[in-house]
A and B are shown apart, each in its own frame.
Chain A
Amino acid sequence: MSLSARVRVQRGMLHVELDLEVADGEVLAVLGPNGAGKSTLLRVLAGLLPPDDGRVTVDGNPWDDVPAGTRLPPHRRALGMVFQDALLFPHLSVTDNVGYGLRTRGVPRAGRRAAAAAWLDRVGLGDLGDRRPAQLSGGQAQRAALARALVGDPALLLLDEPLSALDARTRLTVRAELRRHLAAFRGSTVLVTHDPVDAMALADRVVVVEGGRVVQEGAPAEVARHPRTDYVARLVGLSLLPGTGEGTTVRLDDGGVVAVAEEVRGPVFAAVRPESVALYRSRPDGSPRNVWRLRLTGATPHGATVRCDLGGEVPLVGDVTATAFAELGLVPGDEVWAAVKASEVSVYER
C-alpha cells in the first residue's frame, strides 16, 4: 500500500504541479499557506476533481492515469478522508455515521454496527454511538470522523486540516490521539495542514507547497531547522536571510553583512532564531560581531516573552522577556540596537 502521484491541474489562476511518493505506513505532511493548492491536491487524490494530466497510483492500482484515459470514480477508491469540519451526516447517529462506509459496501446492518462500535471504542467514544452529531463537541466529532474514515480499512488516508477547527486545548489532545492512530495505520497517509506543529508532531516527512509547487521537502526537524522560504521560516519562527558566503561573513542579497562562525562560500541562507537576538537602548559594550541599528516595527506579547519585529538593514524577529521589554521602554518606531552572536547564526546552502 503506497501512493505515487503526479498531479497537474489548473484551478483558476493557480497551476498545481506536484509529484508525491508516500510509502506504506508513512505519513506525509503537505504544508503550505492558503491557496497553495493543498486542498486541490487532496481532491484530486480522492477522485473528487479530475486532474488535467498525471497519474495517481495506489498500491500498484491506477486511480487516475490521464494519458491512458483511466479514471476511478471516488466511490471506487479504497480511501478514507477527514475534513476540517468533521462533516458528520447530521441526520444519522454517530454509529450510523461511522458505519456508513460499510453500508455502501453492502455490509449487513449487524456487522457494520459491530465494526462501528469497535472503532468508536478505539477513539474513546464507545458510549456516544446513539447520539446525533449535533450533540458532540468539536473534538468528539473529529474523532468520530476519523473512525468513519478508517472503518473500511482504506489503502490511503487523506486528512484535510483535521485539527484546525478545534480550540487550542482540544487540538492538543486530539493531535496526540491522531498520532497514535496514524502509527497503527498500515496504509499511506497524506496530511494537509498549514500548522507546522501538526506537521512536526504527526508526519514522517514534510513537503512544503507554495503556488502549486513543492518548494522544500524533508524530515520535519530538518525543514524546521533549515527553512528555504520566508513562509516556512515565519512558520517556525526563524529570520531567514539569503546571501552569499565570503569566508566567515555572509553578504546579504538585500544589503548588510552577517558574521558567522564557520567558513562558507557561495549562495547560502543565514537563519537566526528569535531567542538569539538581544536588544539594547545604546550600543552594547563587548564585541559581539553582529550589531545592527534597527527600528522596532511591531511587538506582540507571547506568554512571558514579547516578539519584536525589527526592520532596517537586516530584518529580524527577536524575543525578549516581558520584563526586559518593559525596562527598555520601547514603543514601535523607536530605534534599537540588536546583537546576535556569530555562533548563533546557522548557515546552510541554498
Chain B
Amino acid sequence: MSRPREGTGVPLPLVVPAALAVAFLVLPVIGLLVRTPWSSLGEQLTAPGVGEALRLSLVSATAATGASLLLGVPLAWVLARSRIRGRSVLRALVTVPLVLPPVVGGVALFLVLGRQGIVGSWLDDAFGITIPFTTTAVVIAETFVAMPFLVISVEGALRAADARFEDVAATLGADRWTTFRTVTLPLVAPGIAAGAVLCWARALGEFGATITFAGNFPGTTQTMPLAVYLALQRDPEAAVVLSLVLLGVSLATLLLLRDRWLRGAAS
C-alpha cells in the first residue's frame, strides 16, 4: 500500500510525474538563462526599438484581453446557460482559432477585414478605414487567437457554478440581466480572472496571426515576439535577451496582479 507521504501528503505516483512536468517546463527557461550574454545585457536592453516593442506588446495584449472580456464573457454565458439550438456546433466553432495555425488565422483575418476582405473592403469604401498594418490590426489578431482561451475557462467556471443561486436571485425579483450582473458575474469572477490571465499571456506571445495580418513595423505593429523572431535571424544572443525581457515582464505583471487579488480577497 502506498500511503500518502507524511508532510507533503502527495502520493508517490503523482509526485514523480509532477516533478518531471516541472522539469520539462522549467529547464528550457533555465537553458535560456544559461545562454544569456549577461555582460552585454545592458547594451541589448537599451538597443533602439526594444522598449517600443515591449510597450506595444503590453498595450496590445491588454487591449486584446479587454476586447476578449467584453465579447468573450457574454459568449461563454450563451454557451453555458442558454438553450439555443446548435450550441455544440457553436462551441466547436469558437475553438477553431485554437487549432488553426496562427498564420492561417492571419490570412483568414485578411479575407474578412483586409482591404479586399468582405467587411474590410466595405470599411475602406464607406469610411476610408483600412485595418491591416495598424496597431488595431495587432489587437484584432491577438484577440482572434487569445479569446477562445478566455471563453473556454469562463464557460467552465459557469458550468461549475451553482445555477441555483440564479434561481434564488430570480425569486428575489432580479431579471436575468440583473442576475447576471449581481450574482453570476461575481460568482465566476475567479474563473474570469484565470481566463483573462491565460488570454493575456497568449496574446502577449502571439506571433503568427500578428505578423501576417498586422505585419511587422517597428513602433506600429512590431511586438516583442516579432522582434525576437527577427533578432533570431541575425543575432541569437539578442533574441535570448529579448525573450527574457518578455518573460520577466509578463511574470512580474502576473505576480503583481495576483498579489493585488489575494489582498483584495482577504480584506
Contacts and interface: CB of A to CB of B under 8 A. Distances in A.
Nearest to A47: B170
- Majority SS of interface residues in chain B? helix
B71 to A, nearest CB: 24
A74 B183 contact: no
A83 interface: yes
A46 B170 CA distance: 9
Given A91-B186, A91-B187, A73 B168 contact: no
Interface string B36-53: 000000000000000000
A186 interface: no
B175 A73 contact: yes
Interface in B158-190: 162, 164-165, 167-175, 178, 182-183, 186-187, 189
Contacts of B187: 89-91
Interface string A87-114: 1011110000000110111000000000
Nearest to A105: B173
Q: Which of A77, A79, A91 has the most CB of B within 10 A?
A: A91
Contacts of A101: 172-173
Given A89-B183, A91-B187, A104 B174 contact: yes
A208 B162 CA distance: 30
A100 B168 CA distance: 10
A80 interface: yes
Given A89-B183, A90-B187, A91-B187, A75 B168 contact: no
Contact of A75 (B162, B164, B170): B170
A291 B174 CA distance: 63
A197 interface: no
A147 to B, nearest CB: 12
B168 A74 contact: no
B83 to A, nearest CB: 13
B168 A87 contact: yes
B75 to A, nearest CB: 23
Interface in B194-244: none
A90 B170 CA distance: 16
B169 A100 contact: yes
B172 A48 contact: no
Contacts of A104: 169, 172-175, 178, 182
Q: Which of B162, B164, B172, B189 has the most CB of A within 10 A?
A: B172
Given A91-B186, A103-B182, A104-B178, A80 B171 contact: yes
A101 B172 CA distance: 5
Interface string A292-305: 00000000000000
Contacts of B189: 91
B164 A74 contact: no
A75 B174 contact: yes
A77 B175 CA distance: 11
Contacts of A47: 170
Interface in A105-161: 105, 148-149, 152, 158
Contacts of A90: 187
Contact of B168 (A77, A83, A103, A152): A83
Interface in B241-258: none
A81 interface: yes
B172 A152 contact: yes
Nearest to A92: B186
Nearest to A78: B173
Contacts of B182: 100, 103-104
Given A87-B164, A87-B165, A81 B171 contact: yes
Interface of A: 46-48, 73-77, 79-81, 83, 87, 89-92, 100-101, 103-105, 148-149, 152, 158
19 contacts: A48-B167, A73-B175, A74-B167, A74-B170, A75-B170, A75-B173, A75-B175, A77-B171, A79-B171, A80-B172, A81-B171, A87-B165, A89-B165, A100-B172, A100-B174, A101-B172, A103-B182, A104-B169, A152-B172
Given A48-B171, A91-B189, A104-B169, 8 more contacts: A48-B167, A75-B172, A75-B174, A87-B165, A89-B186, A100-B182, A149-B171, A158-B171
Interface of B: 162, 164-165, 167-175, 178, 182-183, 186-187, 189
